[in-house]
Amino acid sequence: MTVKTLLLAGGTLLVSASAASASGFQVNLGGQKNIGMGGVGVALTLDQAAMFYNPGALAMVRDNGVQVGVNAALARNAFIPESGGGQSTLDNKLVTPFNFYAGFGPKEGKWKIGIGAYTPFGSELHYNKNWEGRYSLTDINLRSIFAQVTASYAITPQLSIGAGLVMLAYGDVDLQKDVPLTAQTGAPTPHVTLNGKAKQSFGYNAGIYFKPSDKVSVGVSYRSQVDAKIENGDVRLRDVIYSTGGNFTATNFSATLPLPATASVGVAIMPNDKLTISADANLVFWSAYRTLDFTFSGNNGYGDRAATATTPAVVGTPGLLGGSTTSSAKRYYQDALAFRLGGQYKVTEGLTVRAGGFYDMAAVKDGYISPETPDADRIGLTAGASYEFGKRFGIDASFLFEDFLKRSQSQSDLLNNGTTDRVAGTYKTTIAVPGVGLYVKF
């Protein structure tokens, strides 16, 4: 299967994750079984999703198989500004991160190869019309689909390694905000939309899996940073006021968004055939995200003026948005740790149940919270179940509930940090993510 067909498969689904279900705008929804267990997976060989959590473990996954999972993320957000009005919320929208994996190898063989597609980063938020932060952001939709090819090799029956080529196969971003200018005519507030597709780019992941006994396994894995680079994205302008047109001439923009590296370690214990308990720690290298810089170009003619009897024709200065050809917003993210714990229990031959939880630390520092990522430390609780029919087909169900700790920033924090391009107030977010997966083993 080629990347193209993978994309077709992805294209049939709405791909993005809501408000990011891990720190920053990372989405930790790699595999349905793992989701039910608090997102652990580095020391596990549950299914083909191993190639996402730890490519080193893929060789130890017993069966060949194909699996697909879909999640329905429902984010709910509340915001109270420091001064002014009351609580505002999001215009709620369902988004559906997915995952797909296929792994093959000789039965009882030493190696295995796999392909996968998943959505490790994304965010979609639509704030209420006229909310206090509308001049900072009204809407964001950040989407990414990664494709991966993986090979894994068992050096010994206890030790296996693996690596994969990871590709940002598809990425796009849509950022919208209002412009703080008022028209004499009473026309709606001017509105800017930045919409662009990311260039395809590559990274890798690698991992080691070690299972010294039937009762214990450990794993480490690493996923490299991939930059989402947007060139010639579209600047779309609505209701630009004629006399201010000279400051809004841009038609295109470019920007680069780092999708950071992640390092993980995990341990699992299997006290008996039925029970597995696992713990993971992830470190996401968010500190790579320093500033979000835009460069604008093109000329839409809004600044052009025809000649009059007394004045010559004027051609507007190209590449301006809000009077500037560039913009830079401080992000200054910090590396973020997450701790995860989960377990599964095989109730009957067909039925397995799962539960787990995690604590995920914010990538966004105090006083740097921006509406596009109302990040905070968060607690997640998960549950899941699988039912297998005749040892070949199975259905996975998972449920994840994430509770972001309430987070505030004051106008003086923003002034001190030079981050007054965002709003002071208190954010609170919860996300519920039911998910379902299907798999076939052979």
Partner 1 sequence: MTFSAKHSLPALALLGLTLGSCQPQLDDNRPAADAGQLNFSSYVAVGNSLTAGYSDGGLYNEVQAVSYPAILAQQFAKTGKGPASFVQPAFSAAKKDGSGYIKLQLVNGVAAPIQPSAANNFLGEQVAYTSNNPLLPNELEAYTGAQPDNLGVPGISVLSADKTASSTGNAVVDATTRGAAAQYGSINNFYQRLLPAADRTTKDYVTYIGQKTPTFFSCWMGSNDVLTYAVAGAVASPTNPFSGLTDTTSFGKGYRNIINAISKNGTVKGVCATIPNVTAIPYFNTVTVTAVAAAFKAANAASPGVFITTGTAAAPVVRLATSADLLTLTAQGVVATGAGSLPNNPIPNQYVLDAAEITTVLNRTNQLNAIIAKTARQNKLALADMFTFFNSVAAQGIVTNAVNNTATFASGNIFSLDGVHPTPRGYAVVANEFIRNINAYYGSNVPTVAPNDYRGVLFP
Binding site for partner 1 (CB under 8 A): 72, 74, 76-87, 89, 132-133, 135-136, 180-185, 241-244, 305-306, 308, 310-311, 314, 351, 353-355, 381-385, 395, 397, 399, 401, 403, 406, 411, 414-415, 420-424, 426, 428-430, 432-434, 436
Choose between 109 and 418: whose C-beta lies nearer to partner 1: 418
C-beta separation of 152 from 112 below 8 A: yes
Give the residue with the Cβ less far from partner 1, 132 or 172. 132
CB 151 within 8 A of CB 108: no
Provide the residue type at 10 as one letter: G
Least distance to partner 1, CB of residue 58, Å: 27
8 vs 314, which CB is nearer to partner 1? 314
Q: Smallest distance from the beta carbon of 384 to partner 1, in angstroms?
A: 7
* Two tokens, residue 408: 């505030």
Tell me whether residue 318 or residue 434 sits nearer to partner 1 (CB atom). 434
Residue 434: helix, strand or coil by DSSP? strand
Q: Choose among 376, 435, 437: nearest CA to 403.
A: 376
355 phi, psi to nearest 5 deg? -155, 160
Smallest distance, Å, CB 406 to partner 1? 7
Shortest distance (Å) from residue 106 CB to partner 1: 34
Nearer to partner 1, 79 or 153 (CB): 79
Nearest-approach distance from CB 220 to partner 1, in angstroms: 29
Q: How far is the CB of 124 from partner 1 (least distance, A)?
A: 15
Query: Which residues touch 249 (CB under 8 Å, ≥6 apart)?
Result: 298, 299, 300, 301, 302, 303, 316, 317, 318, 319, 320
3-state secondary structure labels for all residues of 243-279 = HHHHHECCCEEEEEEEECCEEEEEEEECCCCCEEEEE
- Decide if 70 contacts 29 (C-beta within 8 A): no
Which of 62, 129 has the CB closer to partner 1?
A: 129
Considering the complex, what minimum distance in angstroms separates the CB of residue 151 from partner 1? Answer: 34
What is the Cα–Cα distance from 159 to 211, expressed in whole angstroms? 6
Judged by beta carbon, residue 224 or residue 417, the one nearer partner 1 is: 417
